[in-house]
Structure 1
């Protein structure tokens, strides 16, 4: 039935479905097998969210990842990479809990497991700040104790700026030179150790001297000697026991190497006592 521009269908002729149109003669109907059809979105999980459509597996996901400074500019090969920031970035990749755990291990020298715990991730963050803290603590404590000693005896007091430069040379020089020499010695005796790992070990071994310097404020000479001796022995045991298991593979001379490490650490504590824990008017 036609009404204007619209066409209506008689309800009586509608049986609920549109009747199939028969194929004209001469034409062949093409049937598709269901197994060859693909559903969209794909049922397989390609993205990170289960059931969601993701990019093709061979798609370039460069823009989906954050671009870091190390990926933008790769350090040059050879010895030139030591002058790039990216070369030292992995050695500062630690958090507060890691540093506190390693400081706690340095105060418990008989464990001897510091090297095993830090073998996969030695850091330079802790040693740098421990040495820097020691420099300022040594300068401030030494200056304060000397000031009190002069005032109690009514003597004129002058600040000694050389105390800072001397402390910086001792602590930075010790942490850099001694591990480097030990690295060469261990390599000569066929028991090589990582250089950064040695820097890490010696840096944390100096933490015990921070509270020792704070206790040196007590104006009793015998007490200062006891504090220096305890701090030196604990620091020396921490280094020697952690390197003993590694140096044993060097052969019969391992005992001499460990003994030399122990004595050298004790010598450091003696030098600190004579020049930092000693107050003279």
Structure 2
């Protein structure tokens, strides 16, 4: 049965019988053949125009600030822009607990003067950061506790001073940052070999001795607190001065004055800590 241009297929043909073969297509229908495309290969092997075929991350033009990160697949920033990326500082936090403990032990034996040689290949910022952070909380907590006890003994009213935390943070973080930066500039001026991260590492570990000193300042004897602050200051100053002496000798005849200034500056830090943290006034 025909209805217009369409032909119906009866139900018997649909049940079990094969469908008749399709007749030859109309000659009027034009078959369009598409040319083989190269789209499956991206990017094309033969690059044209201004883009070159070999692409890769930009080469770091100045890699003297930090060590390269081994095995890193992150794109590298060029020049000094690299200093503002996290990847530039990853190698300086690549230490474990045993490394930090060993370096702390070296800082408590200041007369050897071998700390720089032992950390020259792998100076870290992990230890200095946590030493300064621990100092801030120890100074605030010990200072608050000692002041509280002193006020209670004399039956006087006591108020917590929140400025002790901010003052300690500014002192320790500022000292470990500004002093090595200034020393780095001075040593560069005298053409003495010095690494900025190495100085940060040295000064950070030099402050560890003040942590047990602050803890012992709970003893309510002023002369004992002066002795503790003096011993801690001498150990820290000797540790810094002896480790930098070998590098500063190459600066010429002025090396002695530079080492003496470093030693006295570290002692001045101990005096400041004694006056503002080891001293209890009621």
If the length of structure 2 is used for normalisation, what is the TM-score? 0.75
Aligned to 1:8: none
User: Deviation of residue 69 (structure 1)?
Assistant: 10
The root-mean-square deviation of aligned C-alpha atoms, in Å, is: 1.2
**SS in structure 2 opposite 1:230?**
helix
Per-residue CA distance 1:181-239 (angstroms, 9 max, x = gap): 00000000110300000000000000000000000000000000000000000000000
Aligned to 1:269: 270
How many residues of Structure 1 are paired with residues of Structure 2 in the alignment?
214
Structure 2 CA distance for aligned equivalents of residues 276 and 103 of structure 1: 23
Moved beyond 4 Å, runs of 4+: none
Aligned to 1:192: 193
**SS in structure 2 opposite 1:199?**
helix
Aligned to 2:238: 237
Aligned to 1:90: 91
Q: What aligned pairs does 1:7-86 form with structure 2 within 5 A after superposition? A: 71-86=72-87
Aligned to 1:161: 162
Aligned to 1:26: none
Aligned to 1:108: 109
Per-residue CA distance 1:51-81 (angstroms, 9 max, x = gap): xxxxxxxxxxxxxxxxx99733223111211
Pairing 1:139–2:140 present:
yes
Aligned to 2:204: 203
Structure 2 CA distance for aligned equivalents of residues 70 and 152 of structure 1: 60
Structure 1 CA distance for aligned equivalents of residues 76 and 232 of structure 2: 41
Contact 1:183–1:192 (Cα < 8 Å) also in 2: no
Structure 2 CA distance for aligned equivalents of residues 71 and 270 of structure 1: 45
Per-residue CA distance 1:89-123 (angstroms, 9 max, x = gap): 00000011110110000000000000000000000
Structure 2 CA distance for aligned equivalents of residues 151 and 247 of structure 1: 51
Contact 1:70–1:86 (Cα < 8 Å) also in 2: no
Structure 1 CA distance for aligned equivalents of residues 84 and 155 of structure 2: 52
Unaligned runs of 5+ in 1: 1-67
Aligned to 2:218: 217
Contact 1:75–1:87 (Cα < 8 Å) also in 2: no
Contact 1:243–1:258 (Cα < 8 Å) also in 2: yes
If the length of structure 1 is used for normalisation, what is the TM-score? 0.75
